């Protein structure tokens, strides 16, 4: 019983983002910047992956991973709300990280 899957390039891009986020969060912890937020990001990355895999196993054969997630989210299933909120947190973490990096690079305006 094999179901539909997302194209390999989409999965490769997704896992590249996950790996980049993990490395950047780990680097922030080592550099002692945004320690708590980065630690939460690392934990969320791992938990989101595990939950997505566990709840993605029972998806219908005519749905890919994204379809299954969006359908579960529309039905307000707890796991999908948690995964969606976790992804939103990670996006916000990236925005804050990039803004802080930009502030450090911009010259002082008098």
* pLDDT per position as a tens digit, 16-32: 999 999 999 999 999 99
Q: By three-state DSSP, how is residue 75 classified?
A: coil
Q: Which tens digits make up the pLDDT trace of 61-96? A: 777 788 888 888 999 989 999 999 999 999 999 999
Flag whether pLDDT at 4 surpasses 70: no
**Residue-level pLDDT at 38:** 95
Instruction: Kindly give the residue spans of alpha helices, DSSP state H, lying in 7-108.
Output: 8-30, 35-56, 65-74, 78-105
Contact 4, 11 (CB under 8 A): no
42 pLDDT band (50/70/90 cuts)?
A: very high
Which residues have CB under 8 Å from 97's CB, separation 6+?
Answer: 24, 28, 34
Burial of 54 (0-12, 13-18, 19+ CB in 10 A): exposed
- pTM confidence score: 0.81
CB-count exposure of residue 24 (10 Å: 0-12, 13-18, 19+): middle
């Amino acid at each position: 019983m094999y179901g539909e899957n997302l194209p390999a390039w989409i999965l490769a891009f997704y896992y590249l983002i996950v790996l980049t986020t993990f490395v950047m969060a780990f680097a922030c912890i080592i550099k002692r910047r945004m320690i708590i937020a980065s630690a939460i990001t690392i934990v969320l990355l791992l938990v989101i992956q595990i939950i997505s895999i566990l709840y993605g196993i029972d998806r219908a054969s005519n749905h890919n991973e994204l379809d299954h997630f969006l359908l579960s989210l529309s039905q307000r299933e707890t796991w999908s709300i948690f995964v969606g909120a976790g992804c939103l947190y990670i996006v916000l973490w990236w925005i804050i990280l990039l803004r802080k990096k930009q502030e450090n690079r911009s010259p002082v305006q008098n």
